[in-house]
Amino acid sequence: MKRPERTERERGRSPKLGTALDHPKMKYRDFLEGLGAAIFGVDLEGRFIFLNAQALELLGYDQQKNELIGQHFTKILAPEQANVAVGLFQQGREIRPLVLEALRRDGRPIKLEVSGAWVRQRGRRVGALAMAWAFSAGSAPKPTAKQDRELSKLDLTILQLISSGLSNREIAERVYLSTHTIKDRIEKIMRYFGVSRRAELAATAARRGLV
């Protein structure tokens, strides 16, 4: 399988993702450990340079040994899925929510919902970060009869994205709508739940089992 190749510019004195994560003031690694989701960081060649505790636990790897560091990301993917992921990586595309079949350390398959984005420093790519959750087709919350009348599937999707910490612009990109439309939908959802802040909205949705 052909691995992504770096450009001449990227082979030069470009910043490294590992350096960016270790920024002394920002403490990005601490932040990524506390997100509550599996986080994977890869360099420009697709090799793992960071996996948080949730990622290692999800895939059944020892958190102390962290055997995946330095391995290409295709190591954790089923063969038929690896080609898809490598294609996206080579094209330099951001990964919107996508379901991929991964392999745990013991070889057992696990379906993951994955979102990924490039990390840039001074305008240049230094690597990529992906966030993943275990995916189950039957795990999506089912609204009550009243919610089914007043909250659409789009509203429930927006609720989940808000709870994941996405901005209006990022949500708009995920669901292919304008930022203005998303702003209006969120205001409608807030009125429905009787809250005025996004944090309150996320907390309320979580209490009701909607996210």
Q: What is the DSSP string of 48-77?
A: EEEE-HHHHHHHT--TTT-TTTTSBGGGGB
pLDDT for the residue 3: 53
Are 15 and 21 in contact by the 8 Å Cβ rule? The answer is no
How many secondary structure helices (H) and strands (E) does the chain include? 10, 5
User: What is the pTM for the complete model shown?
Assistant: 0.54
Q: Identify the residue with better confidence: 72 or 157.
A: 72
pLDDT for the residue 73: 95
CATH class of the domain comprising 145-207? mainly alpha
Q: Residues of the chain with pLDDT > 90: what percent?
A: 20
Evaluate if residue 80 carries a pLDDT over 60. yes
Mean of pLDDT over the chain: 78
CB-based burial, 186-195: b 16+ in 10 Å, e otherwise: beebbeebeb
Q: What confidence tens digit (pLDDT) does each residue in 121-159 have?
A: 888 888 999 988 887 654 444 445 444 445 778 888 898
Provide the Cα torsion 99, 102, 104, 109; round to 10°: 80
For the chain, give every domain's residue range: 8-134, 145-207
pLDDT for the residue 18: 63
pLDDT for the residue 176: 81
CB atoms within 10 A of CB 124: 15
CATH topology of domain 8-134: Beta-Lactamase (3.30.450)
CA 52 to each of CA 38, 66, 119, 131: distance values in angstroms, whole numbers, following the listed order: 6, 9, 17, 10
Helix or strand holding residue 121 (H, E): strand 109-121
Q: What confidence tens digit (pLDDT) does each residue in 1-58 have?
A: 555 555 444 444 445 666 656 555 445 666 666 666 789 999 999 999 999 888 999 9
Evaluate if residue 196 carries a pLDDT over 70. yes
pLDDT for the residue 148: 43
Evaluate if residue 60 carries a pLDDT over 90. yes
CB-based burial, 103-113: b 16+ in 10 Å, e otherwise: beeeeeebbbb
